[in-house]
Structure 1
């Protein structure tokens, strides 16, 4: 399983309050894909740019789709731009992919709802693998989950942090954090604008 698939499954198993926003989750999933591509040697990070390398040898079709969307001609794409471009509706895409693979089933009421769909994870080896990474506080998964408000945000107890000791991975996680904060700022601005508009009509 990829980090993105594991992150999606964990987002369904965790009862975070408030619930994880689908926009936030989509940005984190795009970051998780990029980290997996870094790990596979398919890309490197040069400052804040994504530089494609060799082909990604992955059996994960949705990760393969991500690799196919990389900008291969210079100037290469900035990480922030990738997150927004690739992250558009990505949570819904992962839900569809996991449903097709039999990792999710639809319920009349579930832990995660995307629009009118209610789904929950099936007890499969993939779900248990994701849960194991989560329980072990695997650094990359924990960091990405923390960015979108899942878990306690505590780092791994291990002094040898194989994920976030990598500068490229650290750069991606930081970019996801910045993008999520930017999205929240947009939400707050819209809330203020909508409130001001409503007050105008009420004569307040």
Structure 2
């Protein structure tokens, strides 16, 4: 079971509460990888620093890649830095892997004969496992989904995470998503101001 894979499948399978952005999804996928590595004992957290540990290599190819890319020299890498570095383009990579495995196909028509149409999930065991975790209100999956807008924020009645290390990961994802949104808004304002200058406004 891979949390980032499940998150990616849910992102493709569930109508989002707001338009999804690939940057935010990539940050959440990196956070999901950190959660799985933490759960597997491959990493620990010293405050916000990721401390690599000796453990079995994850069977999932992208998780194994994530584990091998850990900074293994002190002072180690901070969790926020990990999210930004590891998350760069990560949603596209997960989508590509799912497509290679036949988990995802591309809807084509006479007007869209090449790749670039709508993604369609195949009816596979991976999709059913992701759907099961989603229907079971698995709290980490729900929190990651809420951070990127796949669903609304959690309600008090829903299950919550109590593990401090996991909470640190989820908080870092939330902060990174908020930071990315702030950067995007600032750039939009700067671009609009620049355009107004050229128009003589």
- The 8 Å contact of residues 42 and 54 in structure 1, kept in 2 or not, is answered as yes
Where does residue 43 of structure 2 map in the other structure? 43
Deviation at 1:156, TM superposition (A): 7.9
Where does residue 192 of structure 1 map in the other structure? 189
Choose the corresponding residue for 1:174, options 171, 174, 184: 171
The range that moved more, 21-30 or 54-63, is 54-63
Where does residue 112 of structure 1 map in the other structure? none
User: Which aligned segments of 4 or more residues in structure 1 are displaced greater than 3 angstroms?
Assistant: 115-118, 155-159
- For the residue of structure 1 that corresponds to 2:77, the secondary structure is coil
Where does residue 112 of structure 2 map in the other structure? none
- Structure 2 unmatched ranges of 5 or more: 110-114
In 2, the alpha carbon distance for the partners of 1:38 and 1:154 equals 23
Question: CA 1:117/1:63 → structure 2, altered by over 3 Å: closer, same or farther?
Answer: farther
- The 8 Å contact of residues 134 and 142 in structure 1, kept in 2 or not, is answered as yes
TM-score under structure 2 length normalisation? 0.92
- Map residues 127-138 of structure 1 onto 2, 5 A cutoff: 127-138=127-138
- Map residues 1-204 of structure 1 onto 2, 5 A cutoff: 1-108=1-108, 116=116, 118-155=118-155, 157=157, 161=160, 164-204=161-201
- Structure 1 unmatched ranges of 5 or more: 110-114
Residues paired across the two proteins, number = 196
- The 8 Å contact of residues 106 and 117 in structure 1, kept in 2 or not, is answered as yes
CA RMSD, Structure 1 to Structure 2 (Å): 1.7
In 2, the alpha carbon distance for the partners of 1:141 and 1:23 equals 18
